[in-house]
Amino acid sequence: MATKKSAAAPKAVPDLANDLIPDAAEAVEAIVEPALEMQQSVRAALEKGVAETRQAFAKAKTSAEDAASAFELSFAAAKDGVIAFNTKAFAAVRANAEANIEFVQASFAAKSVSDLVSLQSDFARKQTDAVVVQLKELAETARTAVAETFEPLKEQVTKTFKIAV
């Protein structure tokens, strides 16, 4: 007897190419689209960060240049103040030396001890008054020099804090 093969319908073989590819394409599209959006948002954030950093650097550079300029002005004012102070101090020393020489010359011309004592009293009083005036002038010169020295720095600090606030 011959065996009869059953004529059952063959099982359908899945069409992997058509069944899986549309799903794969959808999966790739579902992954790529958010990735592109994320890439664009990260790029935008980085570009914004770079722009803000450049602005901050420009401000810092300008502030540093302004501070350097303020220090240069301050040092120049300090130099000028020291020169003015030294000039006044030298003039005071010269005036005092000349007054001392005049006193010594007048002392040799004194005819008596009482004249010498009177001459010494007058000299001491005049020199005391002169030294008081000289010290006031030197103090005013020093005050002016200090004020002019620190003015550029004070202005720069004020300007910097106005910018920062």
pLDDT tens track for 102-114 = 999 999 999 999 9
Q: Which pair of structure tokens corresponds to residue 75?
A: 């040092």
Residue found under tokens 């664009």: 40
Quickly state the pLDDT bin for 82 (edges 50, 70, 90). Answer: very high
pLDDT tens track for 117-134 = 999 999 999 999 999 999
Domain interval for residue 158? 33-164
In a domain, 134, yes or no: yes
In a domain, 123, yes or no: yes
In a domain, 140, yes or no: yes
Tell me the pTM.
0.64
Average pLDDT for the chain: 86
pLDDT value for 20? 52
Res 31 pLDDT > 90: no
In a domain, 2, yes or no: no
The structural domain count of the chain equals 1
Q: Which pair of structure tokens corresponds to residue 69?
A: 């300029």
pLDDT value for 33? 82
pLDDT tens track for 41-70 = 999 999 999 999 999 999 889 888 988 999
pLDDT value for 161? 80
In a domain, 119, yes or no: yes
The secondary structure of 75-142 as a DSSP string is HHHHHHHHHHHHHHHHHHHHHHHHHHHHHHHHHHH--SHHHHHHHHHHHHHHHHHHHHHHHHHHHHHH
